[in-house]
Structure 1
Amino acid sequence: MNSVKKSIFALGLVTAGLLSAQSADMRNMMKIGINGGIAVPAENAGGNLGLDLSYQNLVTPGFGLGIATGYSHFFGKSNTVNGINLENNDFGVVPVAALIRVYPKQMGFYLGTDIGYGFIVGDDKVASNDVSNTARPDGGLYIKPEIGYHNQDWNFSLQYQKTFTGDKGEIGSQKYNAGAIGVGVGYNIPLGK
């Protein structure tokens, strides 16, 4: 019976050590996730679907900084401009951004944003049937503010992402849009202290 007590005590110590190490490991983490949304305004794109990849360091228990990237695919849509039907091409956005997160509590509500540069990739032209051959923009200032819920493993968010392109890529009255409002789900992978 004495060895059973020792085994239970040893198992308890190992379990406590693992639980304590797990929460200590959450200071540095990789985040991998997916997002999807509706393009706003929906002139040249109808919606998007994307993959997020980021690294975060908790500077304090409630404040994280890091870097973010990924890929968002925007699905081109038909649009009539000045009586001409445009077949807008699909395109992608690859951000290179700083990540900022504020966590008021260990679990629950959080606020954050990614801010940097969004590279726009894909077909060189905005629309496949545009006789003026309007070139798509190469990129611009990228922001992705979000509000969500988090626990140790998961993040669920409502987000807006936008790559500002100025007046590049406009065809007549159709403005070039690389922005969407949507939802995201991410998983946290601890990297240690």
Structure 2
Amino acid sequence: MSSMKKSILALGLMSAGLMSAQSMDMKNMIKIGANVGLAVPAENASANVGLDLSYQNLITPGFGLGIATGYSHFFGRENTVNNVNIDNNDFGVVPVAALIRIYPKQTGFYFGTDLGYGFIVGDDKVASNVASPDRPDGGFYIKPEIGYHNRDWNVALQYQKTFTGDKGEIGTQKYNAGALGIGVGYNIPLGK
């Protein structure tokens, strides 16, 4: 079984265990969301769109912990490196992360981050039209965000990044799996 399948299975088992272990009240919720952004810096990708799925438990009224996953699709872009045109492939990022949120008030401003590992999926090569290195398999994942929340909705400015070191570089083009964007999430309370 591939490492990605094992990670997704483990995440599913952890989610089921956490959800069944918690009391059935409004402190526990599933968050479903979508995001869109621009690749930063835009060397091998231009933009991204994604779906987010997370489970959150409010440890206190102002502090939440949980687990997060989803899928972000990065659109490859053409780039010129040393007078050679490169047609970079699309790729995706599947994070497996811890979720941390701080809510100073019941409604209003919030901030937090997701921390974990981002699996990079897609074509095996960075580019399709030149001899290119293998794309990275993944790396440390972080997604800080700041936004507005109420009982049902979250809207946030977010930055997501999967660190790949120097893997997947073509000449002076660094492999980038990061984007600055906007996310919207809907909260589904578990319990009464």
TM-score bracket relative to the smaller structure: 0.7 to 0.9
Q: Distance in 1 between matches of 2:119 and 2:67?
A: 15
TM-superposed deviation, 1:130: 1.8
1:26 and 1:83 map into 2 onto residues whose CA distance is 58
Instruction: Extract unaligned runs of 5+ from structure 2.
Output: 1-23
Superposed counterparts of 1:152-191, under 5 Å: 152-191=151-190
Q: Which has the larger radius of gyration?
A: 1
- Runs (4 or more) in structure 1 with deviation over 6 Å come to none
- Counterparts of 1:34 and 1:190, CA distance in 2: 18
Q: What is the CA deviation profile of residues 132-166 of structure 1, one whole-angstrom value per residue up to 9, with x for unaligned ones?
A: x3100000000000000000000000000000000
2-structure distance, mates of 1:29, 1:160: 23
Where do 1:64-83 residues align within 5 Å? 64-83=64-83
Rounded to whole Å, the distance in 1 between the matches of 2:182 and 2:152 is 17
Partner of 1:115: 115
Structure 1 unaligned spans of 5+: 1-23
Q: What residue identity is the alignment partner of 1:177?
A: N
Q: Percent identity?
A: 81
Shift of 1:192: 1.9
Alignment partner, residue 6 of structure 2 = none
CA–CA distance in structure 1, aligned partners of residues 61 and 106 of structure 2: 8
CA distance in 2, matches of 1:87, 1:60: 49
TM-score by length of 2: 0.87
Residue 72 (structure 1) shift: 0.0
Partner secondary structure for residue 128 of structure 1: coil
Q: Find the counterpart in structure 2 of residue 192 from structure 1.
A: 191
Distance 2:104 2:57 in 1: 16
Matched positions, count:
169
> Counterpart of 1:28?
28
Q: Show the counterpart of 2:16.
A: none
The alignment's TM-score, normalised by the length of structure 1, stands at: 0.86
- Listed as ranges, the matches of 1:1-193 within 5 Å are 25-131=25-131, 133-192=132-191
